[in-house]
Amino acid sequence: MILVIGHKNPDSDSICSALAATELLKARGLKAKPIRQGEINYETKYILKTAGVEEPELITSIAGKKVWLVDYTDLSQAPDDINQAEILGIVDHHRLGDVTTVNPLEVWIWPVGCTCTILFYLFQMEEIKITYQLAILMISAILSDTVGFASPTCTQKDRKAVQELSKIAEIEDLDAFIKMLMIAKTNIKGLSATQLVEKDLKMYLVHARNVLVAQVELAALEQADSMIQALGFDLEHRCKENDLALAVLMLTDITTNRTCLIYRGEWAFKLDKFWKKGMLVMENTLSRKKQVWPWIQAKLL
């Protein structure tokens, strides 16, 4: 049995690509099961409901298991006992991280907008039928990760995959489909400051110190207005608890492409000269991977 597992703090791609990769392995005649490492967010719930698919089981210990990793290759995003598991395959669209293996493995890492895009081409290459349910999962993940094609991470391959998948998923009005997905994506109703920071959080290593960069996508920056102070406190607290050099939260308005940064920590002074009117605002910025993290990293080196 192969467990297919996305990253910690799972986003929609992490869940949908685990489900899709499982079907790919099954079509190859293997036994496989999708699992998840954390709670499912509001958007992913909406996608699973639309597709009529059950949530993968929550499993956070994989010692002694055979696994495929989807949507990450960083140890910090893997289950803590990953070193006792055997990694047989990886499908990802991020920079290569620090997982290592004992045996040769199958690796598909492409610089595209979404892991599900790579899986779509693998299904095509191996002439495996994509069902209606899978098409809904995959198209939703691609549109989520690329923020409806708006993200600079979006490539022609992603667009082509969406075009093909929309036929199988019987989506007649793609704009309306994207709109509903974005409403679910930016729903932060009832979430505490801590839950917001943990919604989509990544850790990076700079000069042997940990740096956290979290992101919350919003339909309007005002959605977070009443929580700015609490968010700052949460970041401060994390720096102390986990010895972080810097903790950053990106508040991204996906309708205006504007990202506002809240940041705390020992290295905060390195960003301070860009601080304007109490906020660090980055125009035309949606992507942590392609825009915010490279920018921050350059300021820290």
> Helix, strand, or coil here: 89?
strand
Q: Is 43 exposed, middle or buried (0-12, 13-18, 19+ CB in 10 A)?
A: buried
* One of 23, 71, 200, 234 touching Mn ion (CB under 5 A): 71
158 binds Mn ion (CB under 5 A): no
Radius of gyration in angstroms for the set of CA atoms belonging to the chain, rounded to a whole number: 19
Nearer to Mn ion, 20 or 231 (CB): 20
Nearer to Mn ion, 138 or 212 (CB): 138
**Which range, of 66-74, 130-138, 193-201, 238-246, touches Mn ion by CB under 5 A?**
66-74
| Shortest distance, position 237 Cβ to Mn ion, whole Å | 28
Q: Which of 101, 100, 61, 59 is nearest to 80 (CA)?
A: 61
**Which range, of 59-67, 109-117, 181-189, 270-278, touches Mn ion by CB under 5 A?**
109-117
| Shortest distance, position 13 Cβ to Mn ion, whole Å | 3
Nearer to Mn ion, 115 or 215 (CB): 115
Nearer to Mn ion, 42 or 110 (CB): 110
Q: Is 161 exposed, middle or buried (0-12, 13-18, 19+ CB in 10 A)?
A: buried
CA distance readout (Å), 85 to 5, 10, 71, 249: 12, 20, 17, 32
- Cross-strand bridge partners of residue 33: 3
* One of 8, 13, 227, 247 touching Mn ion (CB under 5 A): 13
| Shortest distance, position 111 Cβ to Mn ion, whole Å | 12
**Size, binding site for Mn ion by CB under 5 A:** 4
Rounded to the nearest angstrom, the gap between the alpha carbon of residue 105 and the centroid of all alpha carbons in its chain is 23
Q: Is 268 exposed, middle or buried (0-12, 13-18, 19+ CB in 10 A)?
A: middle
User: How far is residue 228's CA from residue 238's CA, in Å, rounded to a whole number?
Assistant: 16
Binding mask 25-64 for Mn ion (x = CB under 5 A): ----------------------------------------
**Which range, of 37-45, 114-122, 128-136, 175-183, touches Mn ion by CB under 5 A?**
114-122
> Which is it for strands 280-282 and 258-264: parallel, antiparallel or unpaired?
antiparallel
74 binds Mn ion (CB under 5 A): no
| Shortest distance, position 126 Cβ to Mn ion, whole Å | 21
Binders of Mn ion among residues 209 to 268 (CB under 5 A) are none
200 binds Mn ion (CB under 5 A): no
CA distance readout (Å), 161 to 11, 16, 210: 19, 15, 36
Binders of Mn ion among residues 116 to 155 (CB under 5 A) are 145
For Mn ion, the binding residues (CB under 5 A) are 13, 71, 115, 145
